[in-house]
Structure 1
Amino acid sequence: MAVQNKLANSSGKKLPFTVAIQTDGYKRLIQNTLANPKRAARFVTAITSAVSANPALQDCDAGTILSAGLLGEGLNLSPSPQLGQYYLVPFNDSKNHRKTAQFQLGYKGYIQLAIRSGQYKKLNVLPIKEGELVQFDPLNEEIEVQLIQDARQREGAATAGYYAMFEYTNGFRKALYWSREKMESHARKYSKGYAAGKGYTFWEKDFDAMACKTMLRQLISKWSIMSIEMERAITNDMTVQHEDGTAEFIESVESPVSEPVPTAPTETNQEPQETEVQEADFSDVLGE
């Protein structure tokens, strides 16, 4: 089922999301998709709050906002920016002359989905501060650190690298360590906006959070047994859902990216890079 966005006012102009979501057509769509009236009402409240908190989302195509939101709801994740489970990210779609909303999974969303699988005995991702790393043995994947004990001092210290690990209940274990320099190189390679110092990319807003997500994605996507929920999340992470049911892959830590529309008053002329369109049955993501 594709999310249709044909609601318009008498002048033919598409309605803003905060208005469109209150129309009968959108209400029926949400209720039919989520089935449970209480869940549908909670979803409307949560997604409307998330859109209202980000001025740049106000101008996005309402159908893409709803598609991204229903995807997050189908994964039982919250759109609240404070929780950081997933984000609605506005993008300029110059090809179709519109702004669209993109589903972007946060690193806390990765953690939530991993915990639900019941497979993990341990799961951790942590910025390592300067002076803390004693050694990391990549062969045996063992790390030795001396953490700064004072929490305030540690928070203010510069980050030297990033560590992520998981251990299954059956004893299988995997760990990664990347230096800050390696992560910087990764960010510059896959984020054109960050490399150009645009000032509005997620890497520039919260480098450590993006680095933690990158570590978890590298670790989980390559080494873990993924649940159906995790597979759906990774497949749809950083995509825009279209009215015909296809998912357009806009940004990934694994391929060249375009960047979010800034939330500041100034607009950007940044255009998305050439993208790969992947067929996706959106109704499959919305199952209870």
Structure 2
Amino acid sequence: MTPSTLKDRVRCAVQTGEPKKPQPVRAAETVDGGTAEELHAAGQQDGGETSDAVLTWLERYGKHFTKALPSHVDNGAFFAAVRAILPGLASCTPASLLQALLTCARFGLIPNGRHAIIRREGKLAVFVPMYQGYVDLMYRSGRVGSVHVGMIHAGDEWNYEPTAPAPLDFTHRPALELSREERGKPILAYAFCWMTGGARSQVVILTREDAEDIRDEYSQAYQRAQQSGKNDSFWHTDFDAMWSKSTLRRLHKVVPMSAELVQLSRADDAGDAGQAQVLHAPDEDAQALADAKAAHAAAEGSQEPQRVATLPRKRVQPKRPGSRRARRGGKGRRR
């Protein structure tokens, strides 16, 4: 029976009776010292038994996370957020979970739903940076003094004149005195920033139709959710947040971008496309990911039916009429 949950896969990966194969990275090396009893003891605790078992496994890569996390991010706060989201990732593969968490750590973002999210897509865990995560990285670049991201509702007072000098070209006065119903639905999303030198960037404005066009053309996660009928992508469940995020990503085209922001955008796009996100991982992170893949393969490889190898067939050249071989009845050359 194939293990169906993350806890089952981790348990299989750390069982002491696991067969060892002569390969560069063995499953036994992946979780040195782990035993089935250790997982069983963690699983006996009331509540969150899957979280405890998986955290026990993830702690073996503590040095990789410590090295990946920037100095301003507390290791304990990061793993506290990880523990909170693990129950929703119970069916993900260990390799994808480790990849998503390492990617999140490399950018110094905590997966708390505000800065970043670890999302489950089938059996894969995917790192998804939220718009607040992009804002954080913009501040870290040292070039941006402040970032403003907002949404204009139908009842708000606003004005936009692209030909006027900044900051007179754009104004927005939210009608906060009105009720939510009176203020109306969002009609525009905008983003701009003030640079550390005192200059203000161009104002980027996206209509709802603009956001829908971006969604339909670029989001493969949305397309997969549409085709499957699940309608569970972020564009389905939190359209306004994705609208704001798209506006902020458009802002990157008119302000200086740091190398880290470029990498974040690439990792975001790779996750949306269902591709590997550790595009910039150092050797240590890459080795940890290879170990996790080996553990997952060891846990499930023996459960899959073996393929029967097909021997290559010798290709016979057709006889050509009038050839010497054809006249001799197909026999080889006489010696």
Give TM-score scaled by structure 1 length.
Answer: 0.67
Matched, 1:230 2:261: yes
Partner of 1:87: 117
CA distance in 1: counterparts of 2:234 and 2:149, whole angstroms: 18
Matched, 1:7 2:7: no
Name whichever structure is richer in strand by fraction. 1
Q: Secondary structure of the residue that 1:160 maps to in structure 2?
A: strand
Distance in 2 of aligned mates of 1:179 and 1:19: 46
Distance 1:119-1:203 versus aligned 2 partners, 3 A rule: same
| Residue 59 in structure 1 maps to residue 86 in structure 2 | no
Deviation at 1:138, TM superposition (A): 3.7
Match of 1:7, as an amino acid?
A
Shift of 1:78: 1.0
**1:58 to 1:18, Cα distance in 2 relative to 1, 3 A:** farther
Deviation track 1:19-52 (CA, whole Å, cap 9, x = no partner) reads 24313xx43322254159x955544333122222
> Which position in structure 1 is the counterpart of 2:316?
none
- Aligned partners of 1:104 and 1:237 also within 8 Å: yes
The answer as to whether partners of 2:192 and 2:200 remain within 8 angstroms in 1 is no
Please say which structure displays the higher CA radius of gyration.
2
Amino acid at match of 1:60: C
Deviations 1:235-257 (A, max 9, x none): 2225xxxxxxxxxx241xxxxx5
Of the three residues 119, 130, 136, the one matched with 1:106 is 130
Question: Which whole-Å CA distance do the structure 2 matches of 1:225 and 1:215 have between them?
Answer: 16
Q: Residues 147 and 17 of structure 1: is their aligned pair in 2 closer, same or farther, counting only changes over 3 Å?
A: closer
CA contact (8 A) 2:103 2:278 kept: no
> Cα offset for 1:72?
1.6
How many matched pairs? 234
Partner Cα separation in structure 1 for residue 145 and residue 279 of structure 2: 32
Aligned-residue Cα RMSD (Å) equals: 3.5
Q: What are the Cα deviations for residues 135-190 of structure 1, in whole angstroms up to 9, with x where unaligned?
A: 42344572244421326437962111111111212215221111122222322333
Structure-2 residue corresponding to 1:173: 201
Tell me if the contact between 2:99 and 2:277 (Cα under 8 Å) persists in the aligned partners: no
2:98 maps to 1:74:
no
SS where residue 189 of structure 2 aligns?
strand
Gaps spanning 5+ residues in structure 2: where? 1-9, 19-26, 28-38, 40-49, 286-335
Whether the 8 Å CA contact 2:263–2:280 is kept in 1: the answer is no
Length-normalised TM-score, structure 2: 0.59
Q: Whose helix fraction is larger, Structure 1's or Structure 2's?
A: 2
Partner of 2:246: 214
Residue in structure 1 matching 2:187, options 146, 160, 171: 160
What is the alpha-carbon distance in structure 1 between the residues aligned to residue 257 and residue 225 of structure 2?
30
Q: 1:154 to 1:108 in 2, by over 3 A?
A: farther
**Which is further off, 173-182 or 151-160?**
151-160
Separation in 2 of the partners of 1:119 and 1:236? 22
**Corresponding position of 1:266:** none
